[in-house]
Amino acid sequence: MHFVLSHWPQCCRIVESVGPGVTEFNEGDHVLTVFIGECKTCRQCKSDKSNTCEVLGLERRGVMHSDQQTRFSIKGKPVYHYCAVSSFSEYTVVHSGCAVKVSSIAPLEKICLLSCGLSAGLGAAWNVADISKGSTVVIFGLGTVGLSVAQGAKVRGASRIIGVDTNPEKCEKAKAFGVTEFLNPNDNNEPVQQVIKRITDGGADYSFECIGDTGMITTALQSCCDGWGLAVTLGVPKLKPEVAAHYGLFLSGRTLKGSLFGGWKPKTDLPSLVNRYLKKVRNTRKPSCGNCA
């Protein structure tokens, strides 16, 4: 099978044409494309407890949600979609429920990050964890998603934001996004969760697993404090999807939550995130993708 891939599903495009029955978009509209849609009519879409969609959920087979067929081909042979987006192409085709109309004055090369990584991190901090002021936060993995969590934690007023990564080159970059302390597990003789519990007097209030390693989910849980510690997992594991954790971690009051796209409902919430970015840019005159925080 051949696919038109994406760097995950991060993509922002201009509508070239619309298909039969599509009424909410017109040629020239600026849109963010997303890997989970929002039909606005199913049980999940109507609930304020979820941002998933029963109709336009994560599509893993490489076809359109509407008819289970692909819209791409080469020399008569099918080429399949990737996560309903397929951004590694000059033109792409998406379901209207997986496209979000946004302001045409927003720079496409900046707001494209809101279609996946940046929104996933900010939403995990704001919507899923609901980080409180003065709290201690630990982030495992300092890629785009982890740095976005750090930025969200900083905006919420977290007093300590501890970044954990095996790449020492990420230390200074992470501090620019709000990380106050950096830990490299390879620099310590004891497990990183023990280091965290020692330097935080019993564990962090919140921990975020942004790698996609199920073993690190257990580590994130162990890094939280008793009573109210919350571990949030954002990463997508490639191998061994099962999570193993001692039941005592939960009996002591810790909670494990999953976060898909930061809890945002794409059509409902993304336009306001873009507008928040534009407002921040007008105030700071610095067109950084981090301004939406």
CB 270 within 8 A of CB 245: no
Question: Are 169 and 227 in a shared domain?
Answer: yes
Q: How far apart are CA 77 and CA 200, in angstroms?
A: 57
Question: Are 32 and 166 in a shared domain?
Answer: no
**CATH number where 208 lies:** 3.40.50.720
Q: Has residue 249 been placed in a domain?
A: yes
Q: Has residue 129 been placed in a domain?
A: yes
Q: Has residue 110 been placed in a domain?
A: no
pTM beyond 0.75, yes or no: yes
Q: Which helix (H) or strand (E) holds 118?
A: helix 117-123
Question: Are 82 and 129 in a shared domain?
Answer: no
pLDDT in tens, the chain (293 residues): 788 887 666 788 999 999 999 999 999 999 999 999 999 999 999 999 999 999 998 877 888 888 888 988 999 999 988 888 888 888 999 999 999 999 999 999 999 999 999 999 999 999 999 999 999 999 999 999 999 999 999 999 999 999 999 999 999 999 999 999 999 999 999 999 999 999 999 999 999 999 999 889 999 999 999 999 999 999 887 777 888 888 898 999 999 999 999 999 999 999 999 999 999 877 654 445 556 66
CB 56 within 8 A of CB 37: yes
Question: Are 248 and 140 in a shared domain?
Answer: yes
Half-sphere exposure of 191 (CA within 13 A, CB side): 10
Please give the tally of structural domains in the chain.
2
Question: Are 138 and 89 in a shared domain?
Answer: no
**CATH number where 19 lies:** 3.90.180.10
Q: How far apart are CA 118 and CA 116, in angstroms?
A: 6
* Strand ranges in the chain using DSSP code E only, listed in sequence order: 12-14, 30-33, 72-74, 77-79, 99-102, 136-140, 160-164, 181-183, 206-209, 230-233, 255-258
Domain range spanning residue 246?
Answer: 120-262
